[in-house]
Structure 1
């Protein structure tokens, strides 16, 4: 079994010292989310992740079982989910009126990081339910809210998102699933959805599907998409189960990873569903689910970086191979531990920088999400703007660097990393999906550059840039950090130049947006994470200057920041060159020459 411990100390550092979550919660009226309460939640969450989820992670790799439409999850999954529900975790951040505990949204994000690090496949089951709850809460009429939300919040029912069809992936305008009205105000849905995570399983009493479909008079394309709630079991007026609906699992996929999470073909055969949101405007409502899910996938990227780092670090401190180049480190052994070799440290520090920088970025986005949900006035509007820009960066950048971090998890172990015993190869396979679902990296990049940056005439980018300028000014007053501030300031100026250049090219040919978008997003990712590392370095230096009794913790932050600015931020220059290279090298070759 691989090594993993929930990073409680680092999470508290980011919350308390970096982002001021105590004041943040007080400002939003969450007085019950006191530091003592938060630490108590963390302690219990860590126990659950480490003692319940981690031991059954390898079981999940054997996969779910499928038998004539019935899906059985791997050994231990159902018992773990029952414990999760009995402990009240599903409703932690939902409204009191539906049985929740009324705590802020951001707390759920921290818990989900640890669950996903311990057991990615299992964590997907409760994770998807959160988006289902948010969508129903935001768009469903009161009767549906009252009938569905209490059980979903309680966790005895789970939820899914049903978008993809055999002929249509990200191009949702091509969907064929039909919804025809019944006399009682409900709808009759017919069609097939594929790649439905947690679409069928044995963990909960009911599964509530959020489904996109077309009404009979719907216009073509994305302007003709409507959104429906379609339960596995019908629900009566009292919110109780009332017989099987026309929803059936046709098969489950045999996948590269996350085998413990059932990825299903779901057939809707005259299934009863209920319209939520406005007719033919379902895609707008669907983005409530997708934005929650995209942040969640960014958290999965962070989780993988942390899990890979911890696994690789524990091995590097124990495995002996060769003598260190600068002299013997372990005189009582035949060789030195591999953590003394520069290339092993390069890999470990890369993992550490992505994990800790990613945690700061994730919690910054969670803080913004709190403001969008509970804030008012200008604070809410500013948070909305910043989160709109940062969500595609968070999702795509964190899942891309997670591929590198998990690959290094294998590499540090050498040949042992390639076998199942240590868990590193499973972690890499499980993480591979993260760049694909909820919109591929390419889709996120087009959203960032095309819709968010160019679509807003740069206003969204300016909102985030103001935060960067503020921290640059603060860091510039700390002599030991001035060089970092200067470097990051130069990158921020470069980003403005890149944006203007690409915008000018795109005005002449829209293909230029697609040609530049992924490198543009990755450039933004390195700059935004650099912002987080600069903030952490400022706090670490302040603590050391004040005479902290945790010197090693804060010195490690400064060492990792130095590594980030010396070794990782310079990668942005390659992305700059590629983004500015234009479309010719991509599009000049005729199709026949491929």
Structure 2
């Protein structure tokens, strides 16, 4: 059956030993109060609430799903009680602005709690995740009055936020949206239109829902330049903060989905609902991207979290399942057969999942470190560099973490054999829940185009050079460290491959714009693989010197998994480079009409 224990030992290793987060936080006034004792307490309590309250609701929530009746949505049994417990315990405002009632914890810490949430119950996790993103958008772009009205209630969990972008005819191309916002005499707007795929658009968890809605003013310019952002509450809010009459923002239906069935995915109809503008007219997309970039990292962590719980559950199964004998003879002669982990191919599957999960955890923390630095560091140049790395790495975090997350859930399912296809064992739910992460918050194909086009080709690789310099600095600073030399050689070679491939695409794209799209997906996979090699090398640099004296086996296991990654996974970089270098011609050569049937 499914099993989950928050991987606190590995989380602390990444946070404290690999990235030395305490030193970074101590150097920034805004985070100096984040002490090791406080961090440990938050991680321990986070593990308790996710393991004991959310994980037991995961399968029952999947079986029951959300229910829709006459515009109302009911979440699965137990969700509301668990949500109330989380809200009362302060988890909803963990990373929120402390001036508005949030706890102000740095992103390097909150990503670890997010991973626990997604591992324990991915459907439930989406409600607080969307709320955190909405609160971040409001904190960055709303006026003071709106922030004071909304943020304390959202951090307390009394109200929850949503993100309303997509329409039936408009997904990626938001310039096509038809939702309108007409000015009212009192400075508010009348918002009308239909939005689809709205996570948490309607539910029974809290008192009010704060919709952030993209819409167009009557005189808006065409396309994405004419999009504004509006705050549209489910219930209107009185001057004293109490709730007033129902706003005409109603759920028309909920989607019947492959996975994340405990998350309400709604069709929302805004029928002249009263809303208030956030930010400036026609600048709504820029405001919303503050939230979307947060959500993209969060959805990447969804892939990571599901990969982790899938691995733990599969290893629990593998320990008990006996089949045949080890290649060299019986390892457990007292039993009728050996457990399946003695077989090389089962080990291959398990090591693939573990290598990607542990590198993914380090990657999420690395991106979070750049977010913390870009937000809190006092030195402007340091902030700007970190912001550039965030821009570069966000599409990789969303896409690579979710692609590998699905791979990991499928591979873990395979370890079960036939039992993995049976609902009662839980493995198939993780596959279904992971699949959506590649699709929403901008499909992974769009993320790859963003990386290749906007973040690399358009600036001639300037952001990439900053990241490459970080890797090169690490290689040089460890030139005398004999324990990591074999890894550094392979890391350096893979980085050189990435830089050569990048130059080739930039050159070819000058004559053929299709080269960007043709290269993008393979390029993102290559980028992710090199990034994971960098992070595995960083982990080995810490673990190898401690492995011999370690009686727990943690550090020696870290080195052995790294050995597997560099020997069996990183060589895929050569194939990915060859695919990128193949160019656009074979992709674009087949005539469009020949894709269709007779």
TM-score of the pair, normalised by structure 1: 0.98
Q: Aligned to 1:236, which of 235, 238, 255?
A: 238
Shift of 1:464: 0.4
Cross-structure match for 1:286: 288
Q: State how far apart, in whole Å, the 2-side matches of 1:254 and 1:36 are.
A: 44
Shift of 1:93: 2.1
Q: State how far apart, in whole Å, the 1-side matches of 2:347 and 2:465 are.
A: 36
Q: Is 1:512 equivalent to 2:515 in the alignment?
A: yes
Q: State how far apart, in whole Å, the 2-side matches of 1:13 and 1:112 are.
A: 17
Q: How does 1:460-471 map to 2 (within 5 A)?
A: 460-471=463-474
Q: How does 1:87-98 map to 2 (within 5 A)?
A: 87-98=89-100
Cross-structure match for 2:434: 431
Cross-structure match for 1:492: 495
Cross-structure match for 1:400: 403
Q: State how far apart, in whole Å, the 2-side matches of 1:329 and 1:159 are.
A: 55
Whether contact under 8 Å (2:96, 2:136) holds in the other structure is: no
Q: Aligned to 1:69, which of 63, 71, 74?
A: 71
Q: Is 1:18 equivalent to 2:21 in the alignment?
A: no
Q: Aligned to 1:380, which of 379, 383, 397?
A: 383
Cross-structure match for 1:345: 347
Measured against aligned partners, the alpha-carbon deviations of 1:14-35 in whole angstroms (never above 9, x if no partner) come to 0111000111111123233211
Shift of 1:591: 1.5
Q: Is 1:576 equivalent to 2:551 in the alignment?
A: no
Q: State how far apart, in whole Å, the 2-side matches of 1:278 and 1:110 are.
A: 34
Cross-structure match for 1:216: 218
Q: State how far apart, in whole Å, the 2-side matches of 1:509 and 1:72 are.
A: 52
Q: State how far apart, in whole Å, the 2-side matches of 1:95 and 1:347 are.
A: 42
Cross-structure match for 1:158: 160
Measured against aligned partners, the alpha-carbon deviations of 1:149-207 in whole angstroms (never above 9, x if no partner) come to 11011111001100000001111011000000000000000000000011110001111
Q: State how far apart, in whole Å, the 1-side matches of 2:483 and 2:216 are.
A: 60
Q: State how far apart, in whole Å, the 1-side matches of 2:131 and 2:453 are.
A: 30
User: Residue 317 of structure 1: SS of its match in structure 2?
Assistant: helix
Shift of 1:549: 4.2
Whether contact under 8 Å (1:147, 1:238) holds in the other structure is: no
User: Residue 510 of structure 2: SS of its match in structure 1?
Assistant: helix
Shift of 1:573: 1.6
User: Residue 32 of structure 2: SS of its match in structure 1?
Assistant: coil
Shift of 1:63: 1.0
Q: Which runs of 5+ in 1 are unaligned?
A: none
Cross-structure match for 2:192: 190
Q: Aligned to 2:540, which of 516, 534, 537?
A: 537
User: Residue 380 of structure 1: SS of its match in structure 2?
Assistant: helix
Q: How does 1:19-168 map to 2 (within 5 A)?
A: 19-29=19-29, 30-61=31-62, 62-168=64-170
Shift of 1:104: 2.0
Shift of 1:583: 1.2
Shift of 1:97: 2.6
Number of residue pairs the alignment of both structures matches: 592
Q: How does 1:244-323 map to 2 (within 5 A)?
A: 244-323=246-325
Shift of 1:308: 1.2
User: Residue 270 of structure 1: SS of its match in structure 2?
Assistant: strand
Shift of 1:479: 3.0
Q: State how far apart, in whole Å, the 2-side matches of 1:24 and 1:480 are.
A: 26
User: Residue 94 of structure 1: SS of its match in structure 2?
Assistant: coil
Cross-structure match for 2:444: 441
Measured against aligned partners, the alpha-carbon deviations of 1:483-515 in whole angstroms (never above 9, x if no partner) come to 221111111111111111111111111111000
Whether contact under 8 Å (1:63, 1:259) holds in the other structure is: yes
Q: Which runs of 4+ in 1 moved over 4 A?
A: none
Whether contact under 8 Å (2:327, 2:343) holds in the other structure is: yes
Q: State how far apart, in whole Å, the 2-side matches of 1:585 and 1:474 are.
A: 43
Q: How does 1:417-428 map to 2 (within 5 A)?
A: 417-428=420-431
Shift of 1:242: 1.2
Cross-structure match for 1:355: 357
Whether contact under 8 Å (2:96, 2:132) holds in the other structure is: no
Cross-structure match for 2:414: 411
Q: State how far apart, in whole Å, the 2-side matches of 1:536 and 1:275 are.
A: 46
Cross-structure match for 1:2: 2
Cross-structure match for 2:506: 503
Q: State how far apart, in whole Å, the 1-side matches of 2:407 and 2:94 are.
A: 33
User: Residue 130 of structure 1: SS of its match in structure 2?
Assistant: helix
Shift of 1:475: 4.0
Q: Which runs of 5+ in 2 are unaligned?
A: none
Q: State how far apart, in whole Å, the 2-side matches of 1:259 and 1:583 are.
A: 39
Q: State how far apart, in whole Å, the 2-side matches of 1:106 and 1:21 are.
A: 8
Whether contact under 8 Å (1:475, 1:534) holds in the other structure is: no
User: Residue 273 of structure 2: SS of its match in structure 1?
Assistant: strand
Whether contact under 8 Å (2:460, 2:506) holds in the other structure is: no
Whether contact under 8 Å (1:146, 1:239) holds in the other structure is: no
User: Residue 497 of structure 2: SS of its match in structure 1?
Assistant: helix
Measured against aligned partners, the alpha-carbon deviations of 1:17-65 in whole angstroms (never above 9, x if no partner) come to 1000111111123233211111111111101111111101011112100
Measured against aligned partners, the alpha-carbon deviations of 1:342-397 in whole angstroms (never above 9, x if no partner) come to 01101111111111100011011111111122223122111101111111111100
RMSD: 1.1
Measured against aligned partners, the alpha-carbon deviations of 1:197-224 in whole angstroms (never above 9, x if no partner) come to 1111000111101110000000111111
Measured against aligned partners, the alpha-carbon deviations of 1:119-172 in whole angstroms (never above 9, x if no partner) come to 000000011001100111111111111111110111110011000000011110
Measured against aligned partners, the alpha-carbon deviations of 1:387-417 in whole angstroms (never above 9, x if no partner) come to 1111111110010011110001210011001
Q: State how far apart, in whole Å, the 1-side matches of 2:129 and 2:105 are.
A: 17
Q: How does 1:446-461 map to 2 (within 5 A)?
A: 446-461=449-464
User: Residue 577 of structure 1: SS of its match in structure 2?
Assistant: helix
Whether contact under 8 Å (1:247, 1:268) holds in the other structure is: yes
